[in-house]
Homo-oligomer: A and B are copies of this chain.
Amino acid sequence: MYSFTNDYSEGAHPRILKAMMETNLTQNTGYSQDIHTTHAIDLIRSEIKQPNADIHIIAGGTQTNLITISAALRPHQAVISAVTGHINVHETGAIEATGHKVLAMETKDGKLTPNLVLQALEFHTDEHMVQPKMVYISNSTEVGTQYTKTELEALSHLCRQKGLYLFMDGARMGAALTSPINDLTLADIASLTDVFYIGGTKNGALFGEALIILNDELKPDFRFMIKQKGAMLAKGWLLGIQFEELFQNNLFFDMASHANAMAGKLRTALTDKGFSFAYDSQTNQLFPVFSNEMIAELAKEFTFNMDKKIDETHSSIRLVTSWATTEDGVEEFIRFLKKY
């Protein structure tokens, strides 16, 4: 039973585990004030070309989102998100639990546009309503789509003009940056957002998201926020070691490229067979539309998540590939397809 359920079904790239083994008995300073974390931060600063960025490596994505948003907003302020945004549906109200409304905008492809942001601003006119102050976007998005440089520049321009913070959730940043249609670099993203993160959990680390704060307003006392939300890992060097490996020898990009390549094979096979997709993704998440009978057959050989009902007899499913997805797994799926 091969799994295309998600991109966090396996452990970590062997080079990461090896580095953890080699340093296992060395005494380290706790709470991310160790030499590995410092080195990882230097590597990332160099990659993004922002020597003054504040960088904190945090274990998980929901944690990173709730810490960042609650640190940035005053009590009456809200964050604008796509309806499909992770913070809006899949974090059990984590943002609201810190006191802030998520202003969820309908989109057709999981991406916010300047126009949608403007709509949210225009609706919120006075003190009887929350005040939008941050824009949250994901790249790649929860439905596998991604932002082009032109799109991100337009959002960034509007946010700066309107005094909004632009926050990019990069839990699947690797998949976005190594997609065939990508035209963004980490340095571009660093120059266009106020804060963003680079996801390790979904790209070959055991866990870990590197949060990068560019806007000086968001920097003060950030470690207090991490600690208060229970996210300051005692053995914080484990995060540092993992990002050292990810940003040495291109490992981060190589793993994401592999995930995308595996998805590409699936996409080609699906397209060749004439299947359509609920969303037009070039990254490691695919949302093919199948008949419900076919889905039932598929579920006997593979695990995956349901996406949504398309019509009475069809639904879309979600197939996810990862750094660890095997050619064999993909071939097995393509063989299954041949029956249709």
Binds B, one of A38-46, A179-187, A230-238, A330-338: A230-238
Contact B25 A11, beta carbon cutoff 8 Å: yes
- A26 contacts the other chain (Cβ, under 8 Å)? yes
Instruction: List the B side residues contacting A238 at CB < 8 Å.
Output: 11, 206-207
Q: Which A44-69 residues sit within 8 Å CB-CB of chain B?
A: 59-67
CA distance A257 to B66 in the complex (A): 39
CA A298 – CA B242 in complex, angstroms?
34
A interface: dominant SS: loop
Residue of B nearest to A10 (CB): B25
Q: Which residue of B lies closest to A124 (CB)?
A: B89
* Identical chains in the assembly: 4
Q: Is the CB of B21 within 8 A of A17?
A: yes
Asked if B93 and A101 make an inter-chain contact with CB atoms under 8 angstroms apart, the answer reads yes
Q: Tell me the bound Cα distance from A243 to B172 in angstroms.
A: 29
1/0 per residue A207-232: CB within 8 Å of B? 10000000000000101111111111
Evaluate contact between A71 and B75: CB separation under 8 angstroms: yes
Stretch from A128-136, A263-271, A310-318 at the B interface: A128-136
**Which residues of the partner chain B approach A71 to less than 8 Å between Cβ atoms?**
74-75
Give chain B residues whose Cβ lies under 8 Å from the Cβ of A96: 78, 96, 99-101, 130
- Spot the interface stretch: A1-9, A140-148, A154-162, A282-290: A1-9
Question: Given A11-B20, A11-B24, are A59 and B233 also a contact pair (CB < 8 Å)?
Answer: yes
Given known A20-B17, A221-B74, contact A234–B130 (CB-CB < 8 A): no
Which residues in B have their C-beta under 8 angstroms from that of A255?
none
A107 at the interface (CB under 8 A from B): no
Give Cα distance in the complex from A78 to B76, angstroms: 19
Instruction: Give the B-binding residues of A (Cβ under 8 A).
Output: 2-3, 5-6, 8-12, 14, 17, 20-21, 23-30, 59-67, 70-71, 74-76, 78, 89-94, 96-102, 127-131, 201-202, 206-207, 221, 223-235, 238, 324
- List 18 A–B pairs whose Cβ atoms lie within 8 Å, in order of A's numbering: A6-B30, A11-B23, A11-B235, A17-B20, A17-B21, A25-B324, A76-B92, A76-B93, A91-B228, A91-B230, A92-B128, A92-B228, A97-B99, A127-B223, A127-B224, A127-B232, A201-B234, A207-B234
3 smallest CB-CB distances across A and B, nearest first, come from A63-B230, A76-B224, A11-B24
